């Protein structure tokens, strides 16, 4: 067992005790790797305030932001074991353990943010959320996570060939790994919180993410070239421990599910405003931003799409999403 596994085991034991005490007091714990003030953090905090109002204070949520409870994969494990109540995770790191989530991270699946919202708010989103129940989780809501672009420390990227030879950080996800490899770069899976130091030490040459994460993680201080590839609109998901859900009364379950759904509109309002501000801020800080040959990127990424939608449920979900374009 390595150091991280030992820390996770210790944290699980500590949180399990905390869960038992907090559960009796109606206090739910929520985790997010993003910083305080990030739209997803504020949305879950808003959700907690609304739930407290509707339950006359019987249920509350305490939000642990900035990765205080570990990496995204760690918090998913904690929620599955019941040591954590709620976690917000991007779909990227979920694609290996939860195959249905692969649909939402496929390159160039969505034509726009509006297209993505139509898909996740409809039957496709419901199907993916229901898939978490097979592994001790309840899918509460799907949040925006913006349009993802490539950025690096070396040069502007205009066509896929410009990526050749670059080591690009990706989430620990086979879909992202295959996509970046297909585009000609060298994919380097790393947790979100390790990207900044990896750029600083030249372990990697670049990464890909949305404007808000690029800004709040301070990666723009090191990676001074951002190319608007728009290769993914991979959203986030808010997950609840099945153990927590089962411990609630039927009435409280309905409240939690309803308020989680309401929090999506609140989150999107924050997201639209703060994403635009993040873009302005990093450009003002001197980051070089350029357009790309989108058609060339789409052609180069198509083999990744084809590999995942050959048959079965993913083929059906892909057709349903594309019909909403």
- Between vectors from CA 154 to CA 148 and to CA 160, what angle results, nearest 5°? 55
Per-residue CA distances from 284 to 153, 271, 279 (Å): 17, 20, 9
Determine the pLDDT at residue 25: 76
Determine the pLDDT at residue 2: 52
* Domain carrying residue 177: 148-233+277-322
One domain for residues 40 and 120: yes
One domain for residues 13 and 53: yes
One domain for residues 15 and 84: yes
One domain for residues 296 and 314: yes
CA distance 72 to 278: 23
One domain for residues 37 and 181: no
Q: What is the DSSP string of 29-52?
A: EEE-SSPTT-HHHHHHHHHHHHHH
Could you tell me the CATH number of the domain that includes residue 294? 3.40.190.170
Residue 238 DSSP SS3: strand
Contacts of 259 (CB under 8 A, 6+ apart): 47, 50, 51, 54
CA 243 to mean position of chain CA atoms: 23
For CA atoms 240, 264, 255, 17, give the dihedral sign.
positive
One domain for residues 166 and 227: yes
One domain for residues 303 and 228: yes
Structural domain count of the chain: 2
- State the distance between the two ends of the chain, measured CA to CA, in whole angstroms: 47
Q: Which of 161, 147, 142, 158 is nearest to 109 (CA)?
A: 147
One domain for residues 132 and 98: yes
CA distance 239 to 231: 25
Q: b or e along 270-285 (b: 16 or more beta carbons within 10 Å of the residue's beta carbon)? A: bbeebbeebbebbeee
pTM of the model: 0.91
Reading the chain (325 residues) residue by residue, the pLDDT tens digits are 454 554 455 555 555 555 544 555 799 999 999 999 999 999 999 999 999 999 999 999 999 999 999 999 999 999 999 999 999 999 999 999 999 999 999 999 999 999 999 999 999 999 999 999 999 999 999 999 999 999 999 999 999 999 999 999 999 999 999 999 999 999 999 999 999 999 999 999 999 999 999 999 999 999 999 999 999 999 999 999 999 999 999 999 999 999 999 999 999 999 999 999 999 999 999 999 999 999 999 999 999 999 999 989 999 999 999 999 9
One domain for residues 95 and 40: yes
Helices marked H in 33-188: 39-54, 72-81, 113-121, 123-130, 174-182
Determine the pLDDT at residue 21: 47
Helices marked H in the chain: 3-24, 39-54, 72-81, 113-121, 123-130, 174-182, 195-200, 211-216, 242-247, 250-284, 294-308, 312-322
DSSP state, 270? H
One domain for residues 223 and 262: no
One domain for residues 187 and 80: no
One domain for residues 126 and 228: no
Supply φ then ψ for residue 54, to 5 degrees.
-70, -20
Per-residue CA distances from 169 to 75, 103, 113, 193, 272 (Å): 21, 21, 23, 11, 25
């Amino acid at each position: 067992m390595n150091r991280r596994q030992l820390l996770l085991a210790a944290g699980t034991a500590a949180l399990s005790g905390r869960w038992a005490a907090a559960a009796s007091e109606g206090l739910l714990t929520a985790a997010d790797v993003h910083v305080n003030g990030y739209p997803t953090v504020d949305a879950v905090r808003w959700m907690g305030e609304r739930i407290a109002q509707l339950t006359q204070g019987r249920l509350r949520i305490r939000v642990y932001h900035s990765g205080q409870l570990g990496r995204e994969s760690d918090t998913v494990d904690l929620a599955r074991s019941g040591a954590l109540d709620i976690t917000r995770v991007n779909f990227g790191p979920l694609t290996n353990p939860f195959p249905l989530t692969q649909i939402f991270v496929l390159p160039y699946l969505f034509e726009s943010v509006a297209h993505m919202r139509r898909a996740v708010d409809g039957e496709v989103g419901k199907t993916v959320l229901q898939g978490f129940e097979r592994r001790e989780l309840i899918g509460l809501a799907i949040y925006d996570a913006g349009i993802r672009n490539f950025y690096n420390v070396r040069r502007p990227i205009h066509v896929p060939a410009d990526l050749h030879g670059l080591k690009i950080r990706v989430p620990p996800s086979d879909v992202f790994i295959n996509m970046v490899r297909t585009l000609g770069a060298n994919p380097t899976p790393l947790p979100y919180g390790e990207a900044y130091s990896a750029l600083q030490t030249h372990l990697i040459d670049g990464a890909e993410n949305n404007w808000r994460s690029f800004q709040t993680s301070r990666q723009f201080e090191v990676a001074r070239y951002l190319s608007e590839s728009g290769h993914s609109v991979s959203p986030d998901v808010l997950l609840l421990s099945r153990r927590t859900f089962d411990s609630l009364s039927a009435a409280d379950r309905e409240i939690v599910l309803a308020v989680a759904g309401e929090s999506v509109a609140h989150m999107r309002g924050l997201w639209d405003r703060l994403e635009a501000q993040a873009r302005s801020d990093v450009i003002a800080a001197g980051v070089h931003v350029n357009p790309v040959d989108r058609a060339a990127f789409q052609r180069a990424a198509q083999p990744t799409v084809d590999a995942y939608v050959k048959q079965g449920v993913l083929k059906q979900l892909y057709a349903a999403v594309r019909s909403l374009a």
